[in-house]
A = this chain, B = another copy of it.
Amino acid sequence: MIKVGIVGGTGYTGVELLRLLAAHPQVALQVITSRADAGTPVSQMFPSLRGYVDLPFTHPDQAHLEKCDLVFFATPSGIAMQQVRALLDAGVKVIDLAADFRLQDVASWEKWYGMSHACPDLVAEAVYGLPEANRSQIKSARLVANPGCYPTAVQLGFIPLLEAGVIEPNSLIADAKSGVSGAGRKAEISILFSEAADNFKAYGVAGHRHLPEIKQGLARAAGKEIGLTFVPHLTPMIRGIHATLYGRLAKEMDLQALFERRYANEPFVDVMPAGSLPETRSVRGANHCRIAVHRPQGGDTVVVLSVIDNLVKGAAGQAVQNMNIMFGLPEATALNNAPLLP
């Protein structure tokens, strides 16, 4: 059994991680920390977990995370980097669901996140946890930077095209739409039901923190710098990301075959039949990414549609997938339940 600790279990990625880990046959959940809610049973805050998670939240000072085999950070950015070194030194593996270790360019990270990085050397060691791009490094990693939700959906959609050089890399467009849970479980007016329901809007058009993360990943796939316009939107649903991706065709190729080949062995990327229109609900609660590739009106613009559940493949599910890889378990362990539809 893998002894697992979770730092920061009161947000949506935290409760989702708990839901998934509660069903994991190889995981012994040891401790979940929360400074504000120490002592409160987890299942009191999240009654959905009654009967599944019996732990209370523990104050970070009493958590003894160093006794775990693996610690997940489901915290805001800037927390994990304060604690990771001690854990690694104690032989504990770490998966950070926040952004502290996602950007290899520390200066860029400091600009986008508005703080100094506490351990740039560990950034260099950290492995970006997108299994479809990085599986072998994840296998042996001590520290995994779990990707952001938008970056997961966007990268999985663009990677086959960029690796194959099929589209011009300097004018990519990612028009992405997220359910409101992507904004987190924070007391903010803009994500109140009465503000976000029956409404649609763009945000972060001038610049969103996921932009440099996506660009880093796509540059790696393309083998060179890429140019990307990324416009995220808020859509009135709880879970789900739908990325609509646009690229200019650089050469002719059977796009459907390209995608099918690229993801042939991926357990969680489903290349749908030609002409498909993936819906976010088709992955609700599950770790799948469903993708369809189109070439409207036979023109030279390629359109890729990519959907994930932002809390699963876009966060907690991918973290469990990474854990499975790191610990040599079958990759789909605890991730093999069908999506919830309707």
Interface residues, chain A, with chain B CB atoms under 8 Å away: 12, 15, 18-19, 22-23, 46-52, 171, 173, 175, 177, 179-181, 183, 185-189, 191-203, 205-207, 211, 227, 229-231, 233, 235-240, 242, 244, 246, 248, 270, 272, 275-286, 288, 290, 294, 296-297, 299, 301, 303, 305, 307, 311, 336-342
Contacts and interface: CB of A to CB of B under 8 A. Distances in A.
A219 B247 CA distance: 23
27 contacts: A19-B340, A47-B276, A47-B279, A171-B301, A173-B173, A173-B301, A177-B233, A180-B193, A183-B194, A186-B192, A187-B189, A191-B194, A193-B197, A197-B236, A198-B198, A198-B237, A198-B284, A199-B240, A200-B235, A200-B237, A205-B296, A206-B296, A227-B299, A230-B296, A231-B244, A284-B340, A285-B285
A244 B204 CA distance: 13
A245 to B, nearest CB: 10
B48 A195 contact: no
Contacts of A276: 47
Nearest to A49: B338
Given A195-B342, A205-B303, 7 more contacts: A19-B339, A22-B338, A47-B278, A173-B173, A175-B244, A181-B194, A206-B275
A236 B336 CA distance: 28
B297 A194 contact: no
A192 B11 CA distance: 13
Contact of A235 (B177, B301, B340): B177
Contact of A294 (B52, B177, B206): B206
A25 to B, nearest CB: 12
A242 B200 CA distance: 7
Contact of A201 (B175, B278, B341): B278
Nearest to A192: B191
B299 A229 contact: yes
Contacts of A272: 47, 50
A232 to B, nearest CB: 10
A284 B46 CA distance: 12
Nearest to A199: B281
A270 B23 CA distance: 19
A130 B242 CA distance: 31
Nearest to A268: B51
Nearest to A302: B229
A275 B165 CA distance: 34
Contacts of A297: 206-207, 211, 229
Contacts of A242: 200-202, 233
Contacts of A171: 248, 301
A227 to B, nearest CB: 7
A339 B303 contact: no
A187 to B, nearest CB: 4
